[in-house]
């Protein structure tokens, strides 16, 4: 059987290093390599998307950095997002020429994967029209932001499995007046990162392969 998706787990990786590795992977896929699904976690970092409003940072940059949180401008859509240990980062490096060449449909599929993932862990989540990401009630639990180069995707999803939610008090997540939550907080007990990764792979295979 021909392999049509490679899954990689980079573990805890500095954001800048992870971004550089993403770009290398994007180039390989552009040149004909199969799709990649990459997992990782990042040390505390705020990434500022192309649409970031300065008011989305609730403290001065030096005050944020004094808390050990790096701030980086990135080439994805959307506003500010926080990454930190306990948040599972999913980077699909997918060639949309093979998946309909429709960015809006791709984003909707990512949200469907996210909703189905949480459902499998007994968490009822929804997507909201006009707001990228996935919500449980009024709280946001999964952030989504993508970039595309020659129809190959990068960036992706930030799934709050056991993230330190107090770090989100530094920002308006995605520019919204919203509280963030996590799978661990909602379940009231630790959630296996290994089990979450396995289910993500299964759901991506279901939606994209």
**% of the chain surpassing 90 pLDDT:** 85
Instruction: Decide if pLDDT at 3 tops 70.
Output: no
Instruction: Decide if pLDDT at 180 tops 60.
Output: yes
**Model pLDDT for residues 88-115, shown as the tens digit of each residue:** 999 999 999 999 899 999 999 999 999 9
Q: How far apart are CA 136 and CA 20, in angstroms?
A: 33
**Model pLDDT for residues 58-90, shown as the tens digit of each residue:** 999 999 999 999 999 988 878 899 999 999 999
Length of the chain: 209
- 49 pLDDT band, cuts 50/70/90, is confident
**Would you please indicate which residues are annotated as catalytic (active-site) residues?**
174
């Amino acid at each position: 059987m021909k392999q049509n998706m490679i899954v990689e787990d980079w573990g805890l990786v500095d954001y800048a290093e992870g971004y550089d590795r993403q770009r290398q992977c994007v180039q390989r896929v552009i040149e004909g390599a199969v799709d990649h699904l990459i997992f990782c976690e990042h040390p505390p970092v705020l990434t500022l998307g192309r649409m970031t409003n300065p008011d989305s940072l609730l403290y001065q940059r030096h005050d944020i950095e004094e808390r050990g949180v790096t701030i980086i401008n990135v080439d994805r859509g959307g506003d500010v997002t926080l990454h930190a240990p306990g948040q599972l980062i999913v980077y699909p490096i997918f060639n949309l020429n093979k998946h309909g060449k429709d960015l809006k449909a791709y984003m909707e599929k990512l949200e469907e994967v996210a909703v189905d993932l949480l459902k499998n862990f007994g968490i009822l989540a929804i997507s909201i029209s006009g707001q990228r990401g996935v919500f449980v009630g009024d709280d946001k639990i999964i952030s989504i932001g993508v970039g595309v180069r020659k129809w190959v995707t990068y960036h992706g999803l930030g799934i709050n499995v056991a993230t330190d939610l107090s770090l989100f008090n530094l920002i308006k997540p995605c520019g919204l007046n919203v509280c963030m939550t996590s799978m661990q907080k909602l379940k009231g007990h630790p959630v296996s990162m290994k089990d979450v990764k396995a289910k993500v792979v299964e759901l991506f295979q279901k939606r994209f392969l």
